A and B are shown apart, each in its own frame.
Chain A
Amino acid sequence: MLIYLARRFALALVTCVAISILTFIIIRLPPGDFVDAYIANLASSGSTVSAEQAQAMRHEYGLDRPVIVQYGLWMQRVVHGDFGVSMMWRRPVTEVIGDRLWLTMALSFAALFLTWTIALPIGIYSAVRQYSMGDYVATMLGFIGLAIPNFLLALILMYFGFRYFGLSVGGLFSAEYAQAAWSWDKAWDLLKHVPLPACVLALAGTAQLIRIMRANLLDELRKPYVVTARAKGLTERHVVLKYPLRAALNPFASSIAYLFPYLVSGSIIVSLVLGLPTVGPLLLQALVAQDMFLAGTIVLLLGIMTVIGTLVSDLLLMWIEPRIRLQGRA
């Protein structure tokens, strides 16, 4: 079990490093460096920077050093929580991002929770009542869920909401709470707004999980021990829920590692369509304005949060599922 834990942590750490390198590449990719952009920015507001000053700034930020050293310096600052200054907002990047990162994570976790609570019962139903009307409906809905990209679904919902109910479906807060400080009322307001975007996000994942759950449970139900259980006179409810379901849950549970990054990823684009105050719209603005420190920080933090989220759900899984605990020992 300790080996398993250590392996998980090591992998998470390596993933974080990989994300940081990719982020660094994104920050460095546009032609010119940070100082060039800063000077251009200042020039547009009327002030000028002399060549010596520019050189001094480059030296201060280590931009005249080799790329590897630059990466090291950047990492050093990042570890200390200094992500640089957003050129677009002229404020520290952390301040600009603010609550948005937490809202992104809250939304993704809500979608994950929803995916599980919907997929589990429907998957069981589809397997136990194979080829029934309900099974066909679930399968059909599942395929449609897979086929409609979530941003298109959000778009279609937006349109119908606007057209037939005359309301804006978007947002995570009512107007009176949008700028307000955090309070219980605001949290309650958030809770009321989360289900719709969470549903939009969860649909594709749910469709996938229903398929997996159905296939796994069907495999288990055909095994001889189920026949034995039935022959011994166990109630149907007992026969299904006691053993086959637990056995079928294993691969179902391991898919969580891929589901969470997928949901975070989807939340970015869905937020853009629905105008949610997550990091999504901010990231797009930053990228369009070539505000690379802001964009890079968002990609970095989002990646790291995803890794942590996946790790946490992995650990939870280990707690629920004894076979994983034992795997590490073997």
Chain B
Amino acid sequence: MAVAAIETIDRVEDRFAQATQLQLTWWRFKRHKLALISLFVVALFYLIAIFADLLAFADPHATDAKRSYIPPQGIHFFDNGKFQPFIYGLKGVRDPKTFKLAYAPDPSRKLPVTFFAHGYAYNLFGVIPTDRHLLGFEGGQPIDGIFLLGTDQLGRDLYSRLMVATRISLFIGLAGVSLSLLLGVLLGGVSGLYGGWIDTLLQRLIEIVRSIPTIPLWMGLAAALPNTWSVTQVYFAITVIISLVGWTELARVVRGRFLALREEDFVIAAELAGASQLRIIFRHMLPSFASHVIAAVSLALPAMIVSETSLSYLGLGLRPPAISWGILLQDTQNVQVLAGAPWLLTAAIPVIMVILAFNFLGDGLRDAADPYG
């Protein structure tokens, strides 16, 4: 019995001794349950971003004044105990007090929901032209539709818009973080590697950038973008603006790692063996701090997403017809409107979920980044 226990310990130790760094990191990461769940949430969000058009029911740009502010309608899955998803058609009802026309479900008209139905045309992955959507419905009048999250003032389906907004908001975060990473690794690397006056200069620069209140500055820069610019140009300009501040934290992490690694035995050994500077950086140093950088990136991403959302919410970021979370939240600026159509606030849920998930993920990655510790 005792022998068996010792053998088990030996086997476990062997397993750790023979594991690659990636395996060790993964084992450590798995222990952080919240981070693991967050990884799935983040993956799910990016899947939504990739298949946004497939998941959407209705053209996110199609306006229809008659559909203005339709409250959320559920999909019913069972019809008389049989699995047959359906939605109710809509009928106009006049409010007996205000005489306002509102739409309510009409239980007399059941419209069957179909899978991979035809809808508006789009390009899957940006290249394959198709008009298939995950869900659709058959028959019905022009007013009918699947309104899982209701509609906005212009009668656009909020759920479909939210799907498409996910794509833009998540990818602007990625683009911003990539740019910040480039700046951060470059400047942080130079700072940590060479030290001396360059290091002092860059450290002061970082201090200055961090002591400037960012939002007023962003607002000023974003508002100064010419009105004539196209949606794509504005998109890139906003990405550049939000990454101008995000790089400082990444530069700090990279510099710290370079400073720490410079003193490590294996780096000195490589130097003595005559390895070139580039080889030392890319072959010896980079692999051992890549995980730290990944952790810092996943902590920087939510800040980027919040920046874009805030700017767009103020009307200074992306401009319609672009759809992002911030633009969807613009509709909630007026409390009176919000009181009448509280479902507009659902656009805040994915924002909070993504930020939370990235924070937990970053937390777990940071713990796992140093699996020998």
- Interface of A with B (CB < 8 Å)? 11, 14-15, 18-19, 22-23, 26, 29-31, 143-144, 146-149, 151-152, 155-156, 158-159, 162-163, 168, 257-258, 261-262, 264-266, 268-269, 272-273, 283-284, 287-288, 290, 292, 295-296, 298-299, 302-303, 306-307, 310
- Interface of B with A (CB < 8 Å)? 204, 207-208, 210-217, 219-221, 223-224, 226, 302, 306, 309-310, 313-316, 329, 332-333, 335, 338-339, 342, 345, 348, 351-352, 355-356, 359-360
Q: Is A155 touching B345 in the complex (CB atoms < 8 A)? A: yes
Q: Is B216 touching A299 in the complex (CB atoms < 8 A)? A: yes
Given A168-B335, A287-B316, A288-B315, decide whether A302 and B213 contact each other with a Cβ distance below 8 A: yes
Q: Is B212 touching A15 in the complex (CB atoms < 8 A)? A: yes
Q: Is A149 touching B306 in the complex (CB atoms < 8 A)? A: yes
| CB neighbours of B214 from chain A (8 A) | 261-262, 265
Q: Is B208 touching A287 in the complex (CB atoms < 8 A)? A: no
| CB neighbours of A29 from chain B (8 A) | 221, 224
Q: Is A26 touching B221 in the complex (CB atoms < 8 A)? A: yes
Shortest CB–CB separation between residue A135 and chain B, in angstroms?
15
**Smallest CB-CB A-B distances: 7 pairs:** A29-B224, A287-B223, A26-B220, A265-B213, A147-B356, A265-B215, A264-B213
| CB neighbours of A155 from chain B (8 A) | 329, 332, 338, 345, 348
Q: Give 22 A-B contacts (CB < 8 Å), ordered by A residue.
A: A11-B204, A23-B220, A29-B224, A149-B306, A155-B338, A158-B335, A158-B338, A159-B332, A159-B335, A162-B335, A162-B339, A257-B207, A257-B210, A258-B211, A268-B215, A268-B219, A269-B314, A284-B316, A287-B220, A288-B223, A302-B213, A303-B213
Interface of A is mostly: helix
- 16 additional A-B pairs beyond A15-B208, A149-B351, A156-B345, beta carbons within 8 Å, are A15-B207, A22-B220, A143-B356, A147-B355, A155-B345, A163-B342, A261-B212, A265-B213, A265-B214, A265-B215, A265-B216, A269-B314, A284-B314, A287-B223, A299-B220, A302-B216
Query: Which residue in A11, A151, A302 is a CB contact (below 8 Å) of B313?
Result: A151
Q: Is A152 touching B335 in the complex (CB atoms < 8 A)? A: no
| CB neighbours of B351 from chain A (8 A) | 149, 152
Shortest CB–CB separation between residue B196 and chain A, in angstroms?
18
Q: Is B213 touching A310 in the complex (CB atoms < 8 A)? A: no
Q: Is B210 touching A258 in the complex (CB atoms < 8 A)? A: yes
A295 CA to B333 CA, complexed, in Å: 22
| CB neighbours of B302 from chain A (8 A) | 147
The closest CB in chain A to the CB of B349 belongs to A152
Shortest CB–CB separation between residue B189 and chain A, in angstroms?
23
| CB neighbours of A262 from chain B (8 A) | 213-214
